[in-house]
Chain A
């Protein structure tokens, strides 16, 4: 059963510490999205990759956040230094776009719940 895998599921850290969240997209998918979910803001798009290249990271605070895809099986989202306002659930999703066609469905991981004290 193919699924998107995210680690860690829960992370509690102190302000100023570095946090790295990892995502393993579904094998064969060529798009990866990072979303942040909070009660106040709902779901916000942070970054979007296609074929490992970043296409849109306009929703991501550039001074402390960075997103990469070292290879096709791993996407990372790093926060350095972390702040209490970064507390949220971070979701990774993967999908497939080919030949200019979007197959439509995004598959979501179960999320990484981050608490910054």
Chain B
């Protein structure tokens, strides 16, 4: 069974410093992995996705994530935080099931706070 664990419910960083949001997953098969961002009162927006191509994935707004199979991790990073990065971030795992079904399992979210 697939599952996602986001290791930190809240992360605070100063503007201009690196961001690290941690995600570990469990999956029986080769998973697809995603990071989504949700700004207040908005829907979720895709930041980046891993679908068994390059293990280092670059996304929008300077974010990237590295798929590490041996560690079952998919941590999200950004070299320099911006005030506009303050939001909630969700790590998501998806794998195919029978009859071509797919489920997306969301982590509990990490709220990123950026301090001026």
Q: Scoring A residues 92 to 108 as 1 if CB is less than 8 Å from chain B, else 0, what string do you get?
A: 01000100101011111
In the assembled complex, how far is the CB of residue A58 from the closest CB belonging to chain B, in whole angstroms? 10
For B50, give the chain A residue with the smallest CB separation: A104
**Is B43 a contact partner of A109 (Cβ separation < 8 A)?**
yes
**Within the assembled complex, what's the spacing in Å between the Cα atoms of A73 and B46?**
22
In the assembled complex, how far is the CB of residue A30 from the closest CB belonging to chain B, in whole angstroms? 11
- Chain A binding site: helix, strand, loop or mixed by DSSP? strand
B44 contacts A by Cβ under 8 Å: yes
- Chain B binding site: helix, strand, loop or mixed by DSSP? strand
A111 contacts B by Cβ under 8 Å: yes
**Within the assembled complex, what's the spacing in Å between the Cα atoms of A110 and B38?**
10
A12 contacts B by Cβ under 8 Å: no
**Is B108 a contact partner of A42 (Cβ separation < 8 A)?**
yes
**Within the assembled complex, what's the spacing in Å between the Cα atoms of A43 and B11?**
19
Q: Scoring A residues 41 to 85 as 1 if CB is less than 8 Å from chain B, else 0, what string do you get?
A: 011010010100001100000000000000000000000000000
Binding site for A on B (CB under 8 A): 32, 34, 36, 41-46, 49, 51, 90, 94, 96, 99-104, 106, 108-109
